[in-house]
């Protein structure tokens, strides 16, 4: 264990106990020999210093199952700020968990990735959400979110109203592929659609990998662009996962008035869902065993 104040390893010793006043439970306390500071084992708990400790798992499940933050606050009879604070912390925990997961899992041999598009407040301010999925298991391996410029008819309106918009696509794709290096084989097969942005960074960061492209097809149901019409879909694992993201994150569902307000918080929600999703596709019917814990 590392010290939470100075980060030094093997410098902490056990020193006494802390009794929680609300229920009388005892917790181990620690002392750091280097920075001479103290803390208890509670710092690693997901509900550290929260007064409403019991609602944490319900908040995690609700947010990752298509409930908006406001509705979540209403259902649990708490204020919106209570939920908003949890979104930030849970997002951080889930991001760290995904990091640990990448470093400890077996190497993936077949990876699919693409970008999902959504927006902040208005379609004039679009966002891109690159997500990488392992083919077959449908596990989310890496994801990111960033702004892109509006295109088509909206491009001019967007520039007039909100000024020039930064395009973070290239930077995000590079980061996504760098993250993937930890959990994929050198000779991984990458499956993507025919977007022109993908081949260069793949060649640069995975010189030995194969890159297969598939032509995009039309959606099968109006408003569900993710599920493709007709026969076998070579990018099924990817498109199915995207459909699940759209269904289970309230801000991503189509024709919604629950739009993204802050990119940072949306990023947290994406990681929260990704973490639940990875457990969901692994545990299948044992759905009551899905919890938020720190890895
Ligand atoms: Zn220390």
Instruction: Convert the pLDDT of each residue in 177-212 to its tens digit.
Output: 999 999 999 999 999 988 888 999 999 999 999 999
Across the range 55-64, mean pLDDT stands at 94
Distance 194 CA to ligand 1 centre (A): 51
CA-CA distances (angstroms) from residue 124 to 154, 197, 261? 6, 22, 13
CA of 100 to the centre of ligand 1 (A): 23
For residue 18, the CA-to-ligand 1 centroid distance in Å is 19
Count how many Cα atoms sit within 13 Å of the Cα of residue 54 in the half-sphere of its side chain: 5
Residues 6+ apart with CB under 8 A from 224: 243, 246, 254
Ligand 1 center–CA 15 separation, angstroms? 14
Query: pLDDT at position 188, please?
Result: 92
- Domain segments of the chain as ranges: 12-44, 56-289
Going from the Cα of 41 to the center of ligand 1, the distance in angstroms, rounded, reads 14
Output DSSP code: residue 35. Answer: T
Question: 3.30.1370.60, 3.40.50.300, 3.30.420.10, 3.20.10.10: which CATH number matches 56-289?
Answer: 3.30.420.10
**Quick one: pLDDT at residue 228?**
73
Distance 35 CA to ligand 1 centre (A): 4
Neighbour-count burial of 173, counting CB atoms closer than 10 A to its CB (0-12 exposed, 13-18 middle, 19+ buried): buried
* Rounded distance from Cα 22 to ligand 1 centre (Å): 28
pLDDT bin (cut points 50, 70, 90) of residue 60 is very high
pLDDT at residue 40 tops 70: yes
CA of 127 to the centre of ligand 1 (A): 40
10 Cα to the center of ligand 1, angstroms = 10
Q: Which residue has the higher pLDDT, 233 or 160?
A: 160
Dist. CA 44 → ligand 1 center (Å): 15
45 C-alpha to ligand 1 centroid (Å): 19
Query: What is the whole-number distance in angstroms between the Cα of residue 48 and the centre of ligand 1?
Result: 19
Q: How far is the CA of 42 from the centre of ligand 1 (A)?
A: 16
Q: Which residues are in the CB-under-5-Å shell of ion ligand 1?
A: 3, 5-6, 32, 34-35
Expressed in angstroms and rounded, the spacing between residue 39 Cα and the centre of ligand 1 is: 10
Amino acid 287: pLDDT: 63
Taking the model in full, what pTM does it have?
A: 0.93
Element of type H or E holding 275: helix 263-283
**pLDDT score, position 49:** 92
DSSP 49-74: T-S--TTHHHHHHHHTTT--HHHHHH
Q: Give the HSE-up count for residue 240: Cα atoms under 13 Å, Cβ half-sphere.
A: 15
Q: Are 102 and 179 in contact (CB under 8 A)?
A: yes
């Amino acid at each position: 264990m590392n010290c939470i104040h100075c980060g030094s390893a093997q410098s902490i010793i056990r020193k006494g106990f802390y009794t929680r006043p609300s229920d009388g439970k005892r917790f181990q306390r620690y002392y750091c020999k280097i920075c001479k500071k103290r803390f208890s084992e509670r710092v690693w708990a997901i509900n550290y210093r929260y007064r409403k400790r019991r609602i944490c798992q319900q908040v995690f499940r609700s947010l990752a199952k298509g409930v908006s933050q406001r509705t979540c606050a209403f259902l649990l009879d708490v204020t919106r700020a209570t939920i908003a604070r949890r979104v930030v912390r849970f997002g951080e925990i889930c991001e760290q968990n995904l990091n640990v997961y990448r470093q400890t899992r077996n190497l993936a041999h077949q990876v699919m990735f693409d970008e999902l598009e959504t927006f902040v407040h208005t379609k004039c301010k679009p966002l891109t959400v690159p997500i990488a999925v392992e083919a077959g298991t449908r596990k989310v391996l890496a994801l990111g979110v960033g702004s892109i410029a509006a295109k088509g008819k909206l491009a001019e309106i967007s520039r007039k109203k909100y000024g020039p918009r930064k395009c973070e696509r290239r930077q995000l794709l590079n980061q996504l592929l760098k993250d993937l290096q930890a959990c994929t084989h050198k000779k991984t097969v990458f499956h993507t659609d025919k977007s022109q942005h993908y081949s260069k960074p793949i060649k640069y960061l995975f010189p030995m990998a194969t890159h297969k492209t598939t032509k995009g097809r039309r959606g099968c149901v109006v408003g569900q662009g993710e599920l493709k019409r007709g026969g076998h879909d070579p990018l099924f694992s990817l498109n199915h996962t995207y459909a699940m993201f759209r269904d289970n994150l309230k801000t991503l569902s189509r024709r919604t008035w629950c739009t993204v307000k802050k990119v940072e918080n949306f990023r947290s929600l994406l990681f929260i869902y990704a973490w639940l999703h990875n457990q969901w596709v692994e545990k299948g019917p044992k759905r009551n065993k899905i919890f938020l814990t720190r890895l």
